[in-house]
Structure 1
């Protein structure tokens, strides 16, 4: 296989990030096709990315024999069905997180993936490809921090997107704050610690937009997690960071601690003026994790070319989703919730 021909479904904000990377920055990859219900997005793919074909039907795209792999960047509720269709049509599959919104549907999807061992499947937990997080993982693995006792994660979107999210939430199901946003942090906790999460207790509050109470959504939430070895984790998720996109992770161990991105710095520039000393901040996730998105796409293509499965699996998607849903349940019921970890890999 000289070049892997890829078809992408979904050309929203994240879809465009992936599409541009696949078209311009990933070796041995050809962005061959793009699928969207929106004519403007199909036109963008044709004119700006020079894709060979555009589709308004995903079913038609995955039947194209010229396509080797699909990138699924559609709304979360479509992921499981689209993975199934792609697998049944012999395609390798990259799917953005979450794997799905329903645990039983995810389990069925996991079975389908396992029934096609010659096809590559990869889930989009891009933080595992970020240079800083990979360094933190290396430190943990070599025992530099000793035994982990606590992991703290912040994931807060910039406030300039909150109003548009409120409009979306009044008519659509995002899966809830913890599934929509904290799932990256949940995956990091599992990846960094090597442990499963056994119990969660979550709380939250809507302040800027109390109307989110009506649809069971949150603008700010927090959760306390117990891991299988009784170590702890704290999640803070939100949609209202005034300074920009704020992602921060702290790992505390018996021999030391480390912190990733205490300040979400955009670059190495420091501005000194009448407002004081200012460090510019990343304003969104495509900017903060620009290289990580490229590197995860490279890994997917390399896995296809080298005929090997990636480290991130459907099981990772299942476990992270279970924890996120447990956090949502805990918030809604205002009680401690146990996470069922009896499912096999």
Structure 2
């Protein structure tokens, strides 16, 4: 196999970026088919980029035997079913996070992946492929901060996008703040600390936009997690960040600490004027993690060509969903919740 032929489903904001990477930036890869329920999107991309096949029905795309792999960038609620259908059809599969909106369906996907051991499955936790987050992981593994005992994560989306976030929540596509947004930070915590969450306390609400309260979702929410090894995690996620897109992570160990993204600077330019020293901030996840989105897909294609499995596994998706769902449950019930992974409950 000289090139991996890929079909992508979902041409929204992130799907379009992934499609462009697959078509023009990923070595040994060919974007052969695109699929969207929006016919105009399919026609536009297919004609502009000269993509051989275009579909408005996912099941029809799966009948295309020229394809080697399926890339899933559809809304979160479709991921589980589409993953299982693609695996059953014999394809390698990459799916954007989250694995699923509900724990039960995430476990079903785990079973499906294990039933197809000769196919590559990879989940889009792209921060693991960001150079800064990778460098922090390497330092932790080398013992440069001792044993990591505390992690603090901020995941704040720009206030300028709050209307689109609200529409996304109203359509029930996201699974809520902790599943949609905080899941990246929950995965990072598991990765950095090397352990699973045990207990969760989550709070939040609609502060600027009360509509989130009516949806039982949070515009801004926070969770405190006690991990199995007694390490502490504090996670803040929000939809209303005035200065832009702010992703920040701090890990404190017994012998030192690390911080990533403390200032979400767009570049190294500093403007000095009557406002003081001003730095522009990144305005969204596509800009901040442009390199990481490309690197994770390069890894997926390499795994297919080399016959190996990626480091991000389906179990990472299940366990992050467990923890995210525990946060969601704690927020909705307003009480301390045991992570189901540690109670024997499925």
In structure 1, the residue matched to 2:89 is: 89
- Structure 1 unmatched ranges of 5 or more: none
TM-superposed deviation, 1:225: 0.4
1:205-284 correspondence runs (5 A)? 205-284=205-284
For residues 155-195 of structure 1, the C-alpha deviation after alignment (integer angstroms, 9 at most, x for no partner) is 00000110122233234342010001000000000001111
In structure 2, the residue matched to 1:201 is: 201
The answer to whether 1:35 aligns with 2:35 is yes
TM-superposed deviation, 1:237: 0.1
1:82, 1:172 → 2: CA distance?
A: 18
In structure 1, the residue matched to 2:304 is: 304
- Secondary structure of 1:146's partner? coil
1:52, 1:225 → 2: CA distance?
A: 48
TM-superposed deviation, 1:39: 1.6
In structure 2, the residue matched to 1:75 is: 75
For residues 243-282 of structure 1, the C-alpha deviation after alignment (integer angstroms, 9 at most, x for no partner) is 1100000000111001001010111111112222111111
Shift >6 Å, 4+ stretches = none
Q: Contact conserved, 2:169 with 2:176, CA < 8 A, in 1?
A: no
TM-superposed deviation, 1:340: 2.3
Aligned CA distance change for structure 1 residues 229 and 197 (closer, same or farther; 3 Å): same
The answer to whether 1:101 aligns with 2:107 is no
1:169, 1:128 → 2: CA distance?
A: 26
For residues 284-311 of structure 1, the C-alpha deviation after alignment (integer angstroms, 9 at most, x for no partner) is 0000000000000000000000000101
Q: Contact conserved, 2:205 with 2:217, CA < 8 A, in 1?
A: no
2:85, 2:140 → 1: CA distance?
A: 39
In structure 2, the residue matched to 1:181 is: 181
Q: Contact conserved, 2:80 with 2:100, CA < 8 A, in 1?
A: yes
2:231, 2:171 → 1: CA distance?
A: 39
In structure 1, the residue matched to 2:19 is: 19
- Secondary structure of 2:154's partner? strand
TM-superposed deviation, 1:235: 0.1
What TM-score, normalized to structure 1?
0.98
2:219, 2:8 → 1: CA distance?
A: 30
Q: Contact conserved, 2:7 with 2:33, CA < 8 A, in 1?
A: yes
In structure 1, the residue matched to 2:8 is: 8
2:301, 2:336 → 1: CA distance?
A: 41
Q: Contact conserved, 2:149 with 2:193, CA < 8 A, in 1?
A: no
- Secondary structure of 1:341's partner? helix
In structure 1, the residue matched to 2:148 is: 148
TM-superposed deviation, 1:63: 1.5
2:56, 2:335 → 1: CA distance?
A: 44
1:39, 1:19 → 2: CA distance?
A: 16
The answer to whether 1:165 aligns with 2:165 is yes
Aligned CA distance change for structure 1 residues 95 and 173 (closer, same or farther; 3 Å): closer
1:19, 1:278 → 2: CA distance?
A: 35
The answer to whether 1:341 aligns with 2:315 is no
Number of aligned residue pairs: give it: 343
TM-superposed deviation, 1:109: 1.2
2:191, 2:62 → 1: CA distance?
A: 32
Query: Root-mean-square deviation (CA), in Å?
Result: 1.0
TM-superposed deviation, 1:62: 1.1
Query: Higher mean Cα deviation, 44-53 or 225-234?
Result: 44-53
- Structure 2 unmatched ranges of 5 or more: none
2:231, 2:148 → 1: CA distance?
A: 7
